[in-house]
Amino acid sequence: MVDESLGGEVTKAQQDEAVLWKNKGNELFQQGDYEAALFCYNKGLEIDPNNCNLWNNKGFSLFKLGRREDAQTCKEKIQKLKGSSSVEMKPPINEEKQPIIEENSISITPAPTPSKSYNTEETQAPTQKASIKNSSTPASIKCPRCGKATPNDVNFCMWCKTPFQDQESIKKSIPGNFQRKITWKKIISIFSIFFIIIIVISILLSSNQINTQLIGQYIFPGHTMLEGAYPEKGGYTLRGTSGTIDLSKFNNFSVYSKLNSNQPLHYVNEPDASYYKKFLDNSDQKPYLINILSQIKAKTSNKDDQARICISFVQHIPYDFETSAQVRYPYQIIYDYKGDCDEKSLFLAYLLRELGYGVALFEYEPEKHMAVGILASSEYDCHNSGYAFIEATRPSIVTDDKGEYRENGILTSTPTIIPISKGIAFASVGEEY
């Protein structure tokens, strides 16, 4: 039965995707992370709004979070879908064949206390458990695009939505079922090719046919990456010296999922500055971002050098070439430790604003690019805007707007200036040269 008020018919592929979100939510529920589980159930209901199991599990998550009125609303949704006023809601469990809703009660049974360890085999129905033990095929496979584990009985990745090949092709790609023999000749050939490449590169380097400065510009985030060991995460450079920002506190998935479900809306006729400031002013992420600023201020008392640390730190966050249309908050790009030009520019704008600088965003609409502007003298400003240009996606000095970009080349359009904050000017910009 389909309730038209909750959505129309969904395809089999959409039902499968909704089940994946349900199962992920069930795992988080069993671990006691009810906020994260609620996020997963909501994602599943966006895809399949008539799935009674998802409404049931969402209701239990709300019940565990103390939101009893919202949980009752979920129960009423189930009653409407089932066409019955007498239903029983049961705790979430990854078991497709066991019914979750029975029409013999109106009570909500409390969920069991989640254990610290969660064994997915124990929640399988007996026939399913036996088939898993007797099969040599792993229960999940690694997505060739994002690298995350996905159940091997679906035809798409539950994380990045990449379609898979037919099931037979997938099984052949699993190491346990790999049938082709790798001969010694093939192994020797591979190593020979690799050895030849190393020799060619060494010869070119020794004869100065490769400019190491260009390698730094086009292959690595910056020239500092060529100078011995560089911090894997949280690294920055200040006047030739490397340092690190501690990012260990950015590990709270509940905060991440809460931000995900609170995506700002850009209203008609709303100024761009007002829209972008919503990403900067969210209170859930503020304590974590303040921690970064406290660390930076502790490293130097020089205000402009604090700004330089912020710039270098954000520039060295890896660029995300697979980002979606949804803009992430600064907390989320630190959690994922990657971001695109919009997201990294917003993060840098936040840090410089909190240090007291006048800040703006440069939006290059034809090139689909965003950068940051910092208040500076007219000698160094960009397009007579009063702001010096800062590229947030890779290491470069302040005012350098002549870099080449993937697919776009050099920026040629005049940017739209979006003021973010009033404040002091970057007085020592001349030291960048």
156 located within any domain: no
At residue 122, the pLDDT reads 36
330, 417: one domain: yes
Residue 118, domain CATH: 1.25.40.10
206, 233: one domain: no
61, 191: one domain: no
For residue 342, give the nearest of 371, 312, 306, 301 by alpha carbon.
Answer: 371
151 located within any domain: no
328, 199: one domain: no
Residue 241, domain CATH: 3.10.620.30
Q: Longest C-alpha distance within the chain, in Å? A: 83
At residue 172, the pLDDT reads 47
159 located within any domain: no
269, 384: one domain: yes
At residue 81, the pLDDT reads 86
Strand arrangement, sheet containing 369-375: 387-390, 369-375, 359-364, 416-421
Whether the CB-CB separation of 145 and 162 falls below 8 Å is answered with yes
123, 236: one domain: no
At residue 182, the pLDDT reads 56
197, 256: one domain: no
For residue 157, give the nearest of 145, 167, 175 by alpha carbon.
Answer: 145
At residue 120, the pLDDT reads 36
86, 51: one domain: yes
Sign of CA dihedral 167, 170, 174, 177: positive
153 located within any domain: no
For residue 358, give the nearest of 411, 307, 292 by alpha carbon.
Answer: 307
Show the DSSP H helices in 48-183 as ranges.
52-64, 68-82, 126-133, 167-172
In sequence order, what are the beta bridge partners of 416? 363
Of 95, 110, 134, which residue is a domain's last?
134
215 located within any domain: no
At residue 174, the pLDDT reads 44
Domain that holds residue 204: 184-210
Overall pTM > 0.85: no
350 located within any domain: yes
170 located within any domain: no
380, 407: one domain: yes
206, 242: one domain: no
For residue 411, give the nearest of 389, 395, 432 by alpha carbon.
Answer: 389
351, 314: one domain: yes
End-to-end CA distance of the chain: 70
**Residues 112, 113, 119, CA angle at the centre, nearest 5°?**
85
Q: Per residue in 298-334, pLDDT tens? A: 999 999 999 999 999 999 999 888 867 789 999 999 9
144 located within any domain: no
Q: Per residue in 348-407, pLDDT tens? A: 999 999 999 999 999 999 888 999 999 999 999 999 999 999 999 888 899 988 887 766
196, 247: one domain: no
In sequence order, what are the beta bridge partners of 187? none
Block means of pLDDT (10 residues each) for the chain, length 433 residues?
Answer: 52 87 88 87 90 89 89 87 76 52 38 38 36 42 68 60 55 44 74 89 63 36 39 85 92 92 90 94 94 96 95 92 84 93 95 97 92 94 94 90 76 93 94 78
Of 134, 165, 197, which residue is a domain's last?
134
How many distinct structural domains can be found in the chain?
3
Q: Per residue in 196-217, pLDDT tens? A: 999 888 777 665 444 434 333 3
